[in-house]
Amino acid sequence: MAQQHPQPPPGLARCYRHQERETGVRCTRCDRPICPDCMVSASVGYQCPQCVHGSAAASRAARPRTLAGGTVAGDPALITKILLAINVAVFIAVLAGGDQWVVDLGMLGYATDGATLDGLQLVPNWIGVADGEVYRLLTAAFLHQEIWHIGFNMLGLWFLGPSLESALGRSRFIALYLLSAFAGSTLSYVLADQTQLSLGASGAIFGLFGATAVLARRLRYDMRPILVLLAINLVITFTWSGIAWQAHIGGLVAGAVVAFGMVHAPRERRTAVQIAVCAAVALVIVTACLIRTAQLVG
């Protein structure tokens, strides 16, 4: 006699992922039977894991993106506000701590601190980027001594930052700002006198100028306002004494290059192209620093 197996009660299905389990619950989206291990709570009933993952993927794909592919944020000026706050906080610290902050953190190529005793110079204590203090390339971009200096730079940051942050997205805007700051300090390191001490966010701000011009061109906006403003700042750069024009030009060029790569990258491989452009700019900065260091200490 053939052996008979008991059949499940009529209407009781088996989980589509675990065929050995019987269940009376079905996914509210696809109506497939699901066991307790496969039930994912939803606003109404339960959903199966496949529908949940598909819904999440669709949600990510439908998420609005910026022109450069970044995520649209609720506050499009958050990073701008944070950068502004950092600059102001460091400015207050410099006022409270004195010039030593500037000497220790300002942009300096390679110089001696001039240690003397009874008018005789001792064994020189070398300081500067060439002596290994590479952090100066960045810290100098957050240092200000004069109220007019930080005032003009922060006005430029507040004027240019939010629109760029909104168009690029937060992470891309941070990359633009920092690479512009590094590039400004690097060109100062390469071209300025090795004993020249400089500071300020001007390199980063000029990077924002260059990026704004690229963005305006990409969106086919009237470029005359930004070009006039940029021209005025360039005239000031080369006519006023005591301005590190190298930082301005370095930041301007780097900002324009980074922004061009970000807003013109093809959609199908946008992120890869943007990373490559930023990496290329960073590589130029590092190479220039290494060559200059070899010249100074060699």
Identify which of 251, 139, 286 has the alpha carbon closest to the alpha carbon of residue 198.
Answer: 139
Cβ contact 209:252 at 8 Å: yes
Strands 120-121 and 116-117, sheet pairing: antiparallel
Segments of 93-226 assigned E as strands: 111-112, 116-117, 120-121, 126-127
Which of 166, 180, 185, 248 does the annotation list as catalytic?
248
* Spatial separation of the C-alpha atoms in residues 101 and 89, rounded to whole Å: 13
Which of 166, 180, 188, 202 does the annotation list as catalytic?
202
3-state DSSP assignment of residue 23: strand
How many angstroms separate the Cα of 105 from the Cα of each of 45, 133, 135, 186, 199?
Answer: 60, 9, 8, 15, 9
Cβ contact 265:280 at 8 Å: no
Residue 264 is among the residues annotated as catalytic for this protein: no
Segments of the chain assigned E as strands: 13-14, 22-23, 40-41, 46-47, 111-112, 116-117, 120-121, 126-127
Residue 41 is among the residues annotated as catalytic for this protein: no
* Spatial separation of the C-alpha atoms in residues 243 and 245, rounded to whole Å: 6
Radius of gyration from C-alpha coordinates of the chain: 29
Measured at the CA of 67, the angle between CA 52 and CA 219, to 5 degrees, comes to 155
* Spatial separation of the C-alpha atoms in residues 117 and 24, rounded to whole Å: 91
Catalytic residue numbers? 202, 248
